[in-house]
Amino acid sequence: MQNIFKIPGFRPGKAPRSLIERAYGEEVFYDDAIDYVLNETYPKVIEESKLEVVSRPEVDIVQVGKDKNFIYRAEVYVKPEFELGQYKGIEIKKIEYPVAEEEVEHELEHLREENARFVSVERPVQQGDIVTIDFEGFVDGEPDKRWCQHRIMSLQ
């Protein structure tokens, strides 16, 4: 970690720790230390507690500092414990919803139209085509903005 700090008069990685702390503060050394301690202790605690963790931990540093114990809190979601109740022998009334064949076809056609892709073609317009029409209207030879339109229509 020390080799990333530039202290005038010292080659990279050769500055004494006390000068680095004076220039950058002692906290610069905590990140690596915290990562190291977390990576060492967190998996052991999870294994010892026999928890089935289902999320990443949210880590809160409670205490860190020179001549202090490092204390952190890790909050995780765990697989819930539950007991399966009596389910055999339960009767459920089956509800039937009669649906006419026409209703099914109508809904399928609606889904087809909703999910259809439009493809541009170069041919005369046919029944069922969707066309784009651009036109400009004139009144007494002057363009009239009331008549400038862009419409998409379906020919039925």
For residue 12, the tally of other CB atoms under 10 A from its CB is 11
148: pLDDT strictly greater than 70: no
Q: What pLDDT digit, counting tens, does each position of 91-141 carry?
A: 889 999 999 999 999 999 999 988 988 888 888 888 877 777 777 777 888
Please state, in angstroms and as integers, the Cα–Cα distance from residue 142 to each residue in 11, 133, 134, 137, 149, following that order: 81, 20, 17, 8, 16
Last residue of a domain, one of 75, 100, 135: 75
In the three-class reduction of DSSP (H, G, I as helix; E, B as strand; rest coil), residue 124 is classed as coil
Cβ contacts of residue 148 below 8 Å, gap of 6+?
A: 135, 136, 137
| DSSP code, position 15 | S
Q: What is the pLDDT of residues 9-60, one digit of tens each?
A: 888 778 888 888 888 887 787 888 888 889 999 999 999 998 899 999 999 9
Give this prediction's pTM: 0.44
| 2 pLDDT higher than 50 | no
Last residue of a domain, one of 42, 75, 108: 75
C-alpha–C-alpha distance, residues 20 and 30, integer Å: 13
Residues 68 and 8 in one domain: yes
Q: Does 150 fall in a domain?
A: yes
82 is a domain residue: no
Cβ neighbours of 20 (radius 10 Å): 20
Domain span holding position 145: 126-156
> How many domains does one find in the chain?
2
Residue predicted with more confidence, 109 or 145: 109
Residues 32, 34, 37: CA angle, nearest 5 degrees: 110
**CB-CB neighbours of 30 under 10 Å:** 16
